[in-house]
Chain A
Amino acid sequence: MSDVAVNRAEEIVFSALKFQSSAERAAFWDRSCSGDAALRAAVEKIWAEYADGECFLNECQPALSPGAEAVRLLADSTDFTDDISAEFDSDKIVGSNIGPYKLLQKIGEGGCGTVYMAEQEQPVRRRVALKVIKLGMDTKNVIARFEAERQALALMDHPNIARVVEAGATETGRPYFVMELVRGIKVTTYCDEHRLNVRQRLELFIQLCGAIQHAHQKGIVHRDIKPSNILVTMLDGVPVPKVIDFGIAKATGGERLTDNTLFTAYEQFVGTPAYMSPEQAQMSGMDVDTRSDIYSLGVLLYELLTGKTPFDQSELLQSGLDEMRRTLLEREPHRPSTRLDALRADELTQTTLHRRVETLKLKPLLKGDLDWIVMMALEKDRSRRYQTANGFAMDIQRYLNNEPVFARPPSRLYRFQKLVRRNQTTFAAIAAVSVTLIAGFGTSTWLFFREREARQETERARRNEVQLRTEADARAKIAQAALLISRNQLAEADQLVDKIQIPVTEPSLEAAGVFHTLGNWNVTQGRWQVAADRFMQLEQADQVDKSDLTAVGTRDLLGAGPALIVAGDLKRYRQFVQVTLHRFADTSDPVAAEEVMKNSLILPADTMTLQELEPLVKLLQSSGAQNDPAAEKNDYRIPWQTLALSLYEYRCGNFTNAIIWGQKCLAYSIPTPPRVVMAHIVLAMAYSKLNQPENARLELAAGREPIENKLPDGPEKIVDLGRASTGIWHDWVIAYFLLHEAEKLVKYSSFS
């Protein structure tokens, strides 16, 4: 019989199912087969099969029905997954052995496994913690990954780290880890129960950073820092935090993280999304480094201070996976001090009580430095975070010592860019539509690009490995240097960073701070060439946010130009001028424009440089702030803009304009010393060019004296780095060079 006929027969039987009585069914069959005996026979056969199936299923039913029986079974059942996990869910296993370990007692149960206290008899009798991982893991891979990191793990030796000593498989094939037994309680619980105040919490946290730093130096990233992995034990009455589970997250999560499936590191994810760094949440694979731990430490500090995590764990879980990732990747958390506002009254009371601080005093305590410190650790872009746990700890130490901290509030532009970044999804959607449209036209081109991209990716990965190692080394040096600086050991710090090659230093605010301090220090030491080197390093390190074109970006550049000139390195000075000119050509911040102009015009400039400065000049002229004498009350930097314009006009040969701007500059009531001095000198040069020697001499005299008082031994010897109100060293150095130029000019013209 043909397939068609069988199908036809099936159709007939199926259609007849709705008839309850056999007579009706038979009548329907007869009619449908209309005398085709073969078809009729097929129908009978199919019906027989169907009836048999129906009957068989019903015969099985007593096992299922009445329904109450099934429900009773369900109620009475022990775990049906017994061959995999039931043994571990009950306490039955206690008393039995896993490998050489005898399980004594269950001491904990977490998202990814159960922890037992166990006893080892051979080779030494000792107690250990044994963690049996839940089902669903590829045991072989877990153990292989652990073994791969075992040597590195063995190198860790730190009083605040509980070591993981072994990994193995149970008889039923589940992976387990053996680690140092820590009898302690969760760090957050400890802090609350013992009512540690903010300072005590910070001190405990600094200890913790030390442990993480140690691990990082051995090349181990924890990847799962969270309160339940940090236990506090009492040792001779002193609380000692211990970090547990090192190496486990990598062993149990490693493969998943590099997996292509969207949703991977599942166990980890469900357990602790609140502590997960954006790059972990992104799951782009392999690219998780020590700075991921810095983020998690930041979350921990946040919780220690406010009692809450930056993003609420249950809200994250509730929002669904995609939304959760979006939150972690894009949403800016509230600052700790602001987070307190969102607490319910009773929560706030509880939080402040636990910290032994009056209800209204916690917020002011967190506001400012502590806010910025925490937020710096929580930066989405890891290059903006503290680069090392040490750096993090040191900034907290600086706070505790009432010293200025490295962390600082983000600039307005930077925040604006974040706003754009937050709305990326919209842009991405638009982009996706465009791609679809274009794809229709050029799939092959697209494939070509994709293939090329893949090749480049591989190449990048290979280079990355070397690069990452060098970068990690540079980061470690920076952190050490920062530590030395905090102990005022500047010479040692300087030596340490001397070897760091500029391209290797990744932009980081911490590095910027180090280079800035060391640049200035070398200035006071009269080591101008080295100072110039540091300022150039600073220029690199400062480019955390290359698109930040505000004065926050230029401020760190001010030392470089003068330092290069004093060092006599005019070639590098010209290069530096070009670099900054290009970088800030599109700035819209008048202060940045002014600073770049001043930096570029210390010496007579060529036509090209003057042309390139034009947009900045236009910006200053259009801002018009300098035309308002009252403006300086709002901003002391505005008079500087008139000076920059005066100097620019002079360099361009527009001496009359130079005089107009110079006089405006002098009309301001706040006499910022180097600015006033420079204005006099530029005026002197302009008058000289306009053949007004008397005016020129008067202006020159007005400018000369303060400079000679300030720099009696010339620019090479800077005693005082200065302040904004009295003039910072680099401005005095610029004034000195302008004076030098003017002296020659005025002397020459007076003889002519």
Chain B
Amino acid sequence: MSDITLVLEAVSQGDGHAADELLQLVYGELRRLAAARMAQESAGHTLQPTALVHEAWLRLIDDGSRTWRNRGHFFAAAAEAMRRILIDNARRKSRLKHGGGQQRLNIDDVEPAATTPDEKLLMLNDALEQMEKENPEYARIVMLKYFTGLTNHEVAETLGISESTVERHWFNAKRWLVKKVRASA
């Protein structure tokens, strides 16, 4: 048994500090699992992050039922972990492309059409950061769907909202995001 139950409990009681802790815990577990799977799987096999996240959940919460209500926090942390890895990676790669040294990609200098997927991801991330401030409910859904690959059904279950709400928010969120990206580009 790890500290995770406790941490989740703390997060659900609004402890921001515990959220950091949770992120580290979940991230650590994901990283460990990924390394283990990479070592096992034959090359070319596509292991989805979604599967990894689910496995991490099952491994960390061995008494599932009791903390089921905290699932949302867990997946949110997992999504955040995935997001940071991908963003870090994208940032590093685009920094190399632009000769390095630059702390942050300056979005104004980049023509969307000429941008690489990595740079697009960074732009998306900036828009997402905006969204977290202005429309956190959308942002939660984007995080779960985009970074952990949960289905609408799973997202609905995790966030405790209806599936149709998820679909509608997702529909609106995509438009919202791209508008932001286009506006800042």
Which residues of A does B touch, CB under 8 Å? 10, 13-14, 17, 46, 49-50, 52-54, 56-57, 59-64, 66-68, 70-75, 77, 79-81, 135-137, 261-264, 266-267, 269-270, 314, 317-318, 320-322, 324
**Is there contact, CB below 8 Å, between A75 and B31?**
yes
CA distance A267 to B24 in the complex (A): 14
CA distance A75 to B168 in the complex (A): 34
Asked whether A77 and B31 contact (CB < 8 A) given A71-B37, A317-B3, the answer is yes
Residues of A within 8 A of B147 (CB): 64
**Is there contact, CB below 8 Å, between A270 and B46?**
no
**Is there contact, CB below 8 Å, between A50 and B1?**
no
**Nearest-neighbor residue (CB-CB) of A55 within chain B:** B178
**Is there contact, CB below 8 Å, between B13 and A80?**
no
Q: Which of B63, B85, B176, B179 contacts A70, CB < 8 Å?
A: B85
CA distance A270 to B2 in the complex (A): 10
Cβ-based interface call for B137 (8 A):
no
Distance (whole angstroms) from the CB of A110 to the closest CB of chain B: 13
**Nearest-neighbor residue (CB-CB) of A271 within chain B:** B3
**Is there contact, CB below 8 Å, between A318 and B124?**
no
CA distance A57 to B27 in the complex (A): 24
| 20 further A-B pairs in the complex, CB-CB below 8 A; given A10-B172, A60-B117, A80-B81 | A46-B175, A50-B174, A53-B174, A56-B124, A56-B177, A57-B124, A57-B174, A60-B124, A63-B89, A68-B44, A70-B49, A71-B34, A71-B37, A71-B48, A73-B85, A74-B31, A75-B31, A266-B18, A270-B21, A322-B9
Q: Which of A59, A267, A318 contacts B63, CB < 8 Å?
A: A318
B80-113 to A contact mask, C-beta < 8 Å, 1/0: 0110111011100000000000000000000000
CA distance A135 to B19 in the complex (A): 11
Cβ-based interface call for B30 (8 A):
yes
Closest 9 CB pairs of A and B: A53-B174, A67-B48, A53-B178, A74-B34, A75-B34, A62-B117, A80-B84, A75-B35, A321-B9
Q: Which of B1, B9, B86 contacts A63, CB < 8 Å?
A: B86
- In the complex, the number of residue pairs spanning A and B with C-beta atoms less than 8 Å apart equals 152
Residues of B within 8 A of A321 (CB): 6, 9-10, 13
Residues of B within 8 A of A63 (CB): 86, 89-90, 117-118, 120-121
Asked whether A54 and B7 contact (CB < 8 A) given A63-B86, A74-B31, A81-B24, the answer is no
**Is there contact, CB below 8 Å, between B47 and A14?**
no
| CB pairs A–B below 8 angstroms (12 shown) | A52-B182, A54-B174, A61-B117, A73-B85, A75-B35, A79-B27, A136-B20, A137-B17, A263-B10, A270-B3, A320-B5, A320-B9
**Is there contact, CB below 8 Å, between B20 and A71?**
no
**Is there contact, CB below 8 Å, between B175 and A67?**
no
**Is there contact, CB below 8 Å, between B178 and A80?**
no
CA distance A183 to B145 in the complex (A): 51
CA distance A472 to B26 in the complex (A): 46
**Is there contact, CB below 8 Å, between A136 and B17?**
yes
Asked whether A262 and B13 contact (CB < 8 A) given A63-B89, A68-B45, A74-B82, the answer is yes
Asked whether A264 and B85 contact (CB < 8 A) given A67-B46, A77-B31, A270-B3, the answer is no
Distance (whole angstroms) from the CB of A20 to the closest CB of chain B: 16
Cβ-based interface call for B15 (8 A):
yes
**Is there contact, CB below 8 Å, between A71 and B174?**
no
Residues of B within 8 A of A77 (CB): 31, 85, 88-89
Q: Which of A46, A57, A266 contacts B17, CB < 8 Å?
A: A266
CA distance A314 to B2 in the complex (A): 8
**Is there contact, CB below 8 Å, between A70 and B86?**
yes
Cβ-based interface call for B146 (8 A):
yes
Residues of B within 8 A of A13 (CB): 171
Residues of B within 8 A of A60 (CB): 117, 120-121, 124
Distance (whole angstroms) from the CB of A266 to the closest CB of chain B: 6
CA distance A263 to B27 in the complex (A): 23
Q: Which of A74, A137, A263 contacts B18, CB < 8 Å?
A: A263
Distance (whole angstroms) from the CB of A505 to the closest CB of chain B: 40
CA distance A77 to B35 in the complex (A): 10
Asked whether A71 and B47 contact (CB < 8 A) given A56-B124, A57-B146, A135-B20, the answer is yes
Asked whether A263 and B13 contact (CB < 8 A) given A60-B120, A61-B117, the answer is yes
Most buried by A among B18, B23, B66, B175: B175
Distance (whole angstroms) from the CB of A268 to the closest CB of chain B: 12
CA distance A617 to B48 in the complex (A): 83
Asked whether A317 and B5 contact (CB < 8 A) given A67-B48, A71-B38, the answer is yes
Q: Which of A67, A81, A320 contacts B50, CB < 8 Å?
A: A67
Distance (whole angstroms) from the CB of A60 to the closest CB of chain B: 4
**Nearest-neighbor residue (CB-CB) of A59 within chain B:** B120
Cβ-based interface call for B52 (8 A):
yes
Residues of A within 8 A of B44 (CB): 68
**Nearest-neighbor residue (CB-CB) of B81 within chain A:** A80
**Is there contact, CB below 8 Å, between B89 and A73?**
yes
**Is there contact, CB below 8 Å, between B89 and A71?**
no
Q: Which of B9, B20, B52, B178 contacts A74, CB < 8 Å?
A: B52
**Is there contact, CB below 8 Å, between A50 and B38?**
no
**Nearest-neighbor residue (CB-CB) of B30 within chain A:** A74
Q: Which of A14, A73, A79, A263 contacts B15, CB < 8 Å?
A: A263
CA distance A53 to B142 in the complex (A): 12
Residues facing A in B29-73 (CB within 8 A) are: 30-31, 34-35, 37-38, 44-50, 52, 63, 66-67
CA distance A321 to B13 in the complex (A): 10
**Nearest-neighbor residue (CB-CB) of A137 within chain B:** B17
Cβ-based interface call for B156 (8 A):
no
**Is there contact, CB below 8 Å, between B38 and A75?**
yes
CA distance A81 to B30 in the complex (A): 14
Residues of B within 8 A of A75 (CB): 31, 34-35, 37-38
**Is there contact, CB below 8 Å, between B178 and A261?**
no
**Nearest-neighbor residue (CB-CB) of A54 within chain B:** B174
CA distance A17 to B170 in the complex (A): 12
CA distance A72 to B89 in the complex (A): 11
CA distance A57 to B49 in the complex (A): 17
Q: Which of B6, B27, B31, B168 contacts A320, CB < 8 Å?
A: B6
**Is there contact, CB below 8 Å, between B34 and A49?**
no
Residues of B within 8 A of A50 (CB): 171, 174-175
Residues of A within 8 A of B1 (CB): 314, 317-318
Residues facing A in B139-159 (CB within 8 A) are: 146-147, 149
**Is there contact, CB below 8 Å, between A266 and B49?**
no
Distance (whole angstroms) from the CB of A265 to the closest CB of chain B: 10
Distance (whole angstroms) from the CB of A378 to the closest CB of chain B: 23
CA distance A264 to B13 in the complex (A): 10
